[in-house]
Structure 1
Amino acid sequence: MTQISASLVKELRERTGLGMMECKKALEEASGDIELAIDNLRKSGQAKAAKKAGNIAADGAIIIAQNGGKALLLEVNCQTDFVAKDENFTVFANKVAELALANNTTDVAQISALPYGDGASVEEARVALVQKIGENIQVRRAEIIEGANLASYRHGLRIGVVVSYEGGNDELGKSVAMQVAAFNPIAVDAEGVPADILARETDIITAKAKESGKPDNVVEKMITGGIQKYLNEVTLVNQPYVIDNEKKVGDVLKAQNAKVISFKRLEVGEGIEKKQEDFAAEVAAAQAAAKA
């Protein structure tokens, strides 16, 4: 077996970002040829990324990229919040967001095929990052919003909001974006609530009201009141203003002759079912395997 020097291992680590033992093994398999070792690692990156793809990536970051009257929100997932703060992950996520915005696309397949640089596509850069970091990383979804006035707000890494509005000023726009981040409305006003969602909530409210056993006229009032309460909770203009709970958002907008046209809000991990770890069971299984 070819003797591998520490300096050669160090050079391969600096060029690939991989661990010492992985670099040493790759150099041994390549008989000390560093360029061949790099080629082999790039090839094996596909297999390594495929193995990691089965791991649930429910953490990550929301990135906001903006150019003039157009903004894009992008969710890039990883497995842990530690990696979400890693510089390599951050550089990748921000660059992908800029590329998606520049190419005006929210389609993940199209984003993955975009040229990332150095002859690699976004997907190839993602695979290389999985190999380097050792976690499953996925470009999950993107949203684009346009408007003459755009306000954005990011709460930590996990929530991103962009609001399109008219009138008012930058300060108002930012506060409305914070409002959307905090209270998560589903529409600007009642007219914007999707019909299927309203119908489902109405059915639930109606069933509960009828179960009360009260007279029909009272049940009718309970249903009307319940629907209005629901709409107040989920529509932006009817929510209590995040900066002053004594006011509604709609009142604040009206006072400044402003209007919210639309908004987009993304939160990391929405709809992803995280794996529930049972460490006691893991330890028991490990002990059983050791005795076998």
Structure 2
Amino acid sequence: MKLGTIVNEKSGSVPEDGRDQLLALLEELGHEVALPASLEADLEEQVAGLNAAGVEAIAVWGGDGTICTVLQTSSDRTPVLVLPGGTMNLLPKRLHAGELNWKKIVETVLASPKSEWIPAGEVGRQRFYVAALFGQLTHLGESREAVREGALLEAVSILTDKDTLDVESSLEVEVNLAGERRAFPATAAAVLPDADGGLEIAVVAPDNHLDLAAAALDAMVKGWREGAHFHAAGAASIRMRHAKGDAISATLDGEPCEPGESVSVTYIAKAACVLVAGGGT
């Protein structure tokens, strides 16, 4: 197989000689390797150059930001082999059954490669493939890992004893669900692209800290979907606005952003083509 390679050696868990290690392994496994024409070019140019060179797949080793950019700019006909090189590695975990050893992933996937499409949610022009969180909780660093996992209520449970936690329902959320629009206030909302179709949303809208704590306890016992004040799957689109006109805080696959005082989240069924194991021998 002719494989293009993109490696961000500045990512959290990629070694300084990561590119050389990846190239050596691919060549050892008998694959033809292609490098971007310029390693100094931006990621979009590197991806375009590899596609123009006729690679059959692109192996990307980097953090969430690097992986997302490559997925968004890769050709529909060129699957991406996603390797964990960041801090949380949410998408690599999901695609490779929790495996985080990049060498094992390369060997396993290339032994029986299979191309498959994955969905995404989109906010503006930015996509997320695992989870997005909107609202107050995105400011609170101690819950960052739970936020990155999309575990909204787990994040809440960590923070219920914080004096600074604001339970005011400042978000106005509107969900388009099976042609019916439902609107409600929320303190925070988690949104996930559902592989079965549409967006999944869970929101917290507590009246007080005790209500917040109760929701968090339900989440720990039953799971965050059951513990949410509102949960729905299969939404075609979701809109949110800040009741006071402030910018909405958000994380998209763990990356913080402020998309503005209003947000529109849409579902993309075939957002990226990835390379995973399971193609047979």
TM range (shorter): under 0.3
The TM-score, its normalising length taken from structure 2, stands at 0.26
Q: Per residue, is there more helix in 1 or in 2?
A: 1
Instruction: Tell which structure's C-alpha radius of gyration is larger.
Output: 1
The TM-score, its normalising length taken from structure 1, stands at 0.26
